Structure 1
């Protein structure tokens, strides 16, 4: 094979690997001792449509633990007082939902990972919800565009006042 052919093959492989995003995602779940009132709970990882995800009820998601459909990629038991690591295969298309089935959810009980997927996500749980600072940004840090500085809106320009007031007729 010629050197040119090797270069083309390497470029094609690189394009395939970089264009697909992460093929495996590491989920690192930190669950302090008081999580879910000290009781084990289920974590459900699914491929979802973001629009459908926004309208899902807790009971609808919870039913997939006992009767998983083709969107369920992984079901795991989360034990309080542990840090657990999971490898999940990234879906070919669509987003990924990570749901925690707390006994009494109070706030965020699931999060959405949208493409392009990052290689690793750290999730920290509390008694009955996901800590908001563990919810990842929409894009990996290196791909986020710097937000332009906000400028206050400009109002209409007022005419400049003269430096000296004009003299009135008949005045001293």
Structure 2
């Protein structure tokens, strides 16, 4: 199991053990200037069945922007070079999928939030994928703070280096 999957699984387990689910979720999306090659893109927040989510194609999800069904909770435009905040009402049943419709996705383009959903999620994007996410565990109303997280052990997960220069893609200005 990858370090990222382990981290997400551990966070989901902590959320399950902590009790209360939030009735709404605050999504904080950080989109650096080079995100999506500098072009705006759509974010789609949907209620999903985790089994169905695992088998969805990018084209199926993208089609819901123009023709939303009753699972779509929010559609928003994400602008590169911004930090945007959204409040989304959580459904009583099912998980949430937060999908980012990159022009040319390369890696994780969506995130699954299983119940009980936490009150806030920080998502950082990169050129063509979700760079990382920070999902704090859901806290019962009477608790004030989560326990301190331990730093990763020596030799743990390291973020890959970003390219110093963007690749030239055919059809774009400056491409050959």
Contact 2:21 2:138 in 1 (8 A): no
**In the TM superposition, what are the counterparts of 1:43-54 in structure 2 within 5 Å?**
43-54=43-54
Paired positions, count:
125
CA 50–135 in structure 1, closer or farther in 2 if over 3 Å, else same: farther
Q: Partners in 1 of 2:29 and 2:127 — Cα distance?
A: 14
**Structure with the higher fraction of residues in helix conformation:** 1
Q: Does 1:66 align with 2:66?
A: yes
Q: Matches of 2:111 and 2:72 in 1, distance apart? A: 15
Q: Which consecutive unaligned segments of at least 5 residues does structure 2 have? A: 1-17, 140-145, 148-176
Tell me the equivalent position of 2:165.
none
Paired position in structure 1 for 2:129: 129
Aligned to 1:85: 85
Give how far 1:20 is off. 5.2
Runs of at least 4 residues off by over 4 Å: 139-143
Q: Assess if the C-alpha contact under 8 Å between 1:111 and 1:135 holds in 2.
A: no
In 2, distance between residues paired with 1:23 and 1:134?
20
Distance between the aligned counterparts of 1:25 and 1:136, measured in 2? 11
| SS of 1:59 mapped into structure 2 | helix
The structure with the largest alpha-carbon Rg is 1
Aligned residues of 1:29 and 1:124 also touching (Cα < 8 A): yes
SS at match of 1:26: strand
- Is structure 2 residue 41 aligned with structure 1 residue 41? yes
Residue of structure 1 equivalent to 2:118: 118
